[in-house]
Amino acid sequence: MAVTLAFDVYGTLIDTQGLVAMLRAIVGDRAPDFSRAWRERQLEYTFRRALMQNYVPFAVCTAQALDHTCDRFKAPLTAEQRAAVLEAYRTLPAFDDAADGLARLRAAGFRLYAFSNGTAEAVRTLLDAAGIAELFLGIVSTDDLRSYKPNPAVYSHFLRAAGAAGAETWLVSSNPFDIIGALSSGWRAAWVRRSPDAPFDPWGIQPTVTVPGLRDLAAAIAG
C-alpha cells in the first residue's frame, strides 16, 4: 500500500499569520502580537471544547477567539471590521512552498489528504483559494466526529475515511500537539518546523522526522 500523508492545514499549508497586514490597519504595530494571540486562543478553545465535549464548529472558535483577543488588546472592532476580518480568514494565503512541495510528493507516489479541525467546506474554500485543492485525494475533517485534535478518536477516524493503515500513515504538521497526538495513535509524523526558533513540547515524544519546509519532506520520509 502506498504511504498516506495526512496534512494539517492551518499553520502547515496555510499561513495563520497571513492577515497581519490587514490587522495592522486596525491595531497598528501590535498586529503581529495580536495575530499570534488570536491563533493561540483559537487553539485553546478547541482543546477546551474537545475535553468538555461541548462542540461548536472551528469557525465559531475562531470568531470567539477574535473577540477575546480584541478585549485583551483593548482594540474593539466595528461590526464591519469584524465581519471583514473573519471573511478574510476563510481565504488565508498558503505558504510559498505548499504548491511545489505537494506536487513533488504527489509525483513521488504518496497519497495526499488534508486533515483538519476546520469543516470540510471551510478547508475546501481555503485549498481552492490557494490553488492546491486538486493535489489532494480528499479532505478529512474532525467535524465529522464533532471533536478536535488531538483526541485519539479523530486520528482513528482519518484512517477509516482514507482507507489507510496507521503503520503506513504520516501526519505532516507544524503543530507539536498534533504531532504528539498522531504519534500516540501509532502513526509516524513529520514536524514542519517553519521557524528555527519554534520549540517542541518536552514530553519525551519526538517527531519521526523534522523538516524546515514541504520541499524537504519527500527526501526526509524516504531517508
DSSP-based three-state secondary structure for 206: coil
Same domain, 135 and 59: no
Q: Tell me which residue of 159, 114, 166, 165 sits closest to 140, measured CA to CA.
A: 114
Catalytic residue among 8, 15, 143, 178: 8
**How many other CB atoms are there within 10 angstroms of residue 163's CB atom?**
11
Specify which residues 115 forms β-bridges with: 140
Same domain, 105 and 198: yes
Grid cell for residue 20:
497581519
Same domain, 131 and 35: no
Residue with cell 510559498: 96
In this prediction, residue 1 has a pLDDT band, given cuts at 50, 70 and 90, of low
Q: Tell me which residue of 54, 52, 56, 86 sits closest to 69, measured CA to CA.
A: 86
> For residue range 82-109, what is the model confidence (pLDDT) as tens digits?
999 999 999 999 999 999 999 999 999 9
> For residue range 18-56, what is the model confidence (pLDDT) as tens digits?
999 999 999 999 999 999 999 999 999 999 999 999 999
Q: Tell me which residue of 47, 1, 8, 2 sits closest to 190, measured CA to CA.
A: 8
Active site residue 8: yes
Same domain, 123 and 211: yes
Same domain, 98 and 175: yes
> For residue range 48-63, what is the model confidence (pLDDT) as tens digits?
999 999 999 999 999 9
Same domain, 117 and 206: yes
Grid cell for residue 32:
503581529
Same domain, 56 and 129: no
Measured CA to CA, the distance from residue 178 to residue 140 in angstroms comes to: 15
196 preceded by cis ω (within 30°)? Answer: no
Helical ranges in the chain per DSSP H: 20-27, 31-52, 58-72, 79-89, 98-107, 120-130, 152-162, 176-184, 217-222
In this prediction, residue 159 has a pLDDT band, given cuts at 50, 70 and 90, of very high
Residue with cell 485543492: 133
Number of domains in the chain: 2
Q: Which of 89, 112, 138 is the last residue of a domain?
A: 89
Q: What range does the domain containing 213 cover? A: 4-15+93-222
Which helix (H) or strand (E) element contains residue 26? helix 20-27
- pLDDT beyond 70 at 194: yes
